[in-house]
Amino acid sequence: MENQATPAGTGTTQGTRRFRTNPVEIVIFLAAVGVFSHSVYKLFNDSPSYQAAALLPSAGNPVSEGRSPASVAPPAFANLDLRCDAGSEQNTQAAKVRLSGGLCGLDAATDPGKLIKTTVSNGANKFTATVFMDVNAAKFSTDYIPLNAGKNPIQVEFTYSGGKIVSQELVVNRN
């Protein structure tokens, strides 16, 4: 068998061309180039079709249509100030509350530095809060206390050295 030389650029021994162009591929390529060119043209051309459209009045104020937007939903968290007077009652729509206030039971004979511990617990769900103390300023604060629907009796107890215990009760009504 004799070796036959292949014509330059054909790549085969039978003389067919190596690269063929399919007319369908050319049409698809030209369409893609046309879409790309149009997009680039619109990007740099200041066309009104790419400008922001004005909101309709109903989309700008959904409350007027009887709908309530999510931003009007009841707050998830609330801060309540505890006063050292006899039991108080507060209403809220929040799911959790943080209590803060002054140390109760302090008088001329009681030093705030003699505070041993402070306990805050919700009687409705038996949650005991973490209490953060600032003895120098004679103040306290808690983490957020989860509330059940309805009445939540919250017991605050200050224990001082020497056996002095001062209790406060706050009822938080969650609507």
Residue 43 lies in a domain: no
Look at residue 34 and tell me if it is in a domain. Answer: no
For residue 151, the enclosing domain spans 74-174
* Span 118-136, pLDDT tens digits: 999 999 999 999 999 998 8
* Neighbour-count burial for 97-107, b at 16+ CB within 10 Å, e otherwise: bbbebebbbbe
How many structural domains are present in the chain?
A: 1
Q: Is 117 within the bounds of a domain?
A: yes
Q: Write the CATH number for 145.
A: 2.60.40.2020
- The token duo for 156 is 């605050």
pLDDT (tens, 9 = 90+) of the chain, 175 residues, equals 555 555 555 555 566 666 678 889 999 999 999 999 988 888 777 666 656 666 555 555 555 555 555 556 668 899 999 888 767 899 999 999 999 999 888 877 777 778 889 999 999 999 999 999 998 888 999 999 999 999 999 999 999 888 889 899 999 999 8
d(CA 118, CA 86): 18
